[in-house]
Amino acid sequence: MGQGAGRGLSRGRSPLAGRAGRRAALGGAFPSAVRTGFSTLGHFLSHSGAFIRQRPHPSPEGAAIPAAAEVSRLQSALAETGRGGGSAGVWGLAGTWPVSVCLVLSSSFSGHFQWLLYHRAVPSLIQEGPQCGLVALWMAGSLLNLSQDVSLERIVRVALERGYTAQGEMFSAADMAQLAEEVFQCRAELLSGGLEGENRGRILRHLTAGCPLLLPYDEDSNHEPCRRRGYKAHWAVVSGLLLGLRAGTLSPACQEDGEISGLFRPGPACPPPAPEDVLEIYLLSKQGKSWRPQLWRYRQAHESNAQLTDLCPKRAGDGKAYVVPAGGVRAGLCGRAVLLHPRTAQSALPPPAGPPPAAER
């Protein structure tokens, strides 16, 4: 894409709208095909394909998943693998906990950490073309209880009509915030300056309240954040947190999981942990190139987000027109993120999803 790409692009009908329509035709705003869940955590784990490094891969029927594994191997064991199986992955569907939460508390950390998971499941949708931002926005809408009647096709159509995109790309977080407010009637808060500093506390409070975060980052081959100067710019929706807390600081209102020792979920009256008690942070994220969510180290996501500065030369030279804000990728995405809030009290969010109580399993 050359420097001339911008708001003056034609707003005629794009092939994107047709593709979005075929996607939405799977079942309305949230196709049932992407909302399938499992009745119990054990059933979920046995069908997940997750495994602990240096342990045998479970059989198709599901092998026993250990209740504790080494945290030092957490990130490598969470490498995303796509639908075909393979190495360890995280797979969370509606009403279930992510498989990755079985990777908690090694013996070396057992006296120092307690793990608290905030998780709200989002539907999966695989993007067609450079729709990552629009697909992430569609997935995020499910957490606002406002998007039942909003299809991906409508999101694409509005983005085209407003001049935010030409091919499905979203190189401006400010445009993403405006688009979200229009299609979902929510309140969008645009962050700048990266994920650390004052923004860190705002993001943690936002996610522990059950609200979604839209995050631009550079995508590695396994969909995790990397640093490619913006050449692999991508969008994800962050729907939860896995927090490693200092031992003895967990609120009594938190409930320990009935199947995974050392893992806790927030109870109805559970206050967010104090910032000084949070020793480890993982973001529970999903993006449009995989059905599976992942856990990303917070610092890893911050570093990727903070170095989005350049448009990929291959994309710039592909002969297609793209919408890039004045100042380029650096001005549009670098250090930026979007917090989505329900606009009214009538849209109050339910508490973060967790596994059903032991009596219901």
Catalytic annotation on 186? no
Question: How far apart are the C-alpha atoms of 336 and 318, rounded to whole Å?
Answer: 26
CA triple 174-179-187, angle to 5 deg: 80
Instruction: Single out the residue of 273, 239, 269 nearest to residue 255, CA to CA.
Output: 269
Specify the amino acid at residue 96.
Answer: T
Distance of CA 166 to the CA centre of its chain: 24
Strands 263-265 and 233-246: unpaired
The closest alpha carbon to 96, from 144, 57, 44, belongs to 44
Other Cβ atoms less than 10 A from the Cβ of 304: the count is 26
Identify the active-site residue in 102, 132, 211, 254.
Answer: 132
Which residue in the block uniquely carries the two structure tokens 């927090």? 243
What's the per-residue H, E or C state across 10-63? CCCCCHHHHHHHHHHCCCCCCCHHHCCCCCCHHHHHHCCCCCCCCCCCCCCCCC
113 DSSP assignment: E
φ, ψ of residue 279 in degrees (nearest 5) = -100, -25
Distance, CA of 294 to CA of 103 (rounded, Å) = 13
Q: Which of 96, 167, 100 is nearest to 134 (CA)?
A: 167
Nearest C-alpha neighbor of 209 from the set 23, 3, 349, 44: 349
Taking the C-alpha atoms of residue 335 and residue 306, their distance in angstroms, rounded to an integer, is 4
User: Which residues on adjacent β-strands are paired with residue 110?
Assistant: none
Residue (of 327, 129, 335) closest to 215 by Cα position? 335
Which positions are annotated as active-site residues?
A: 132
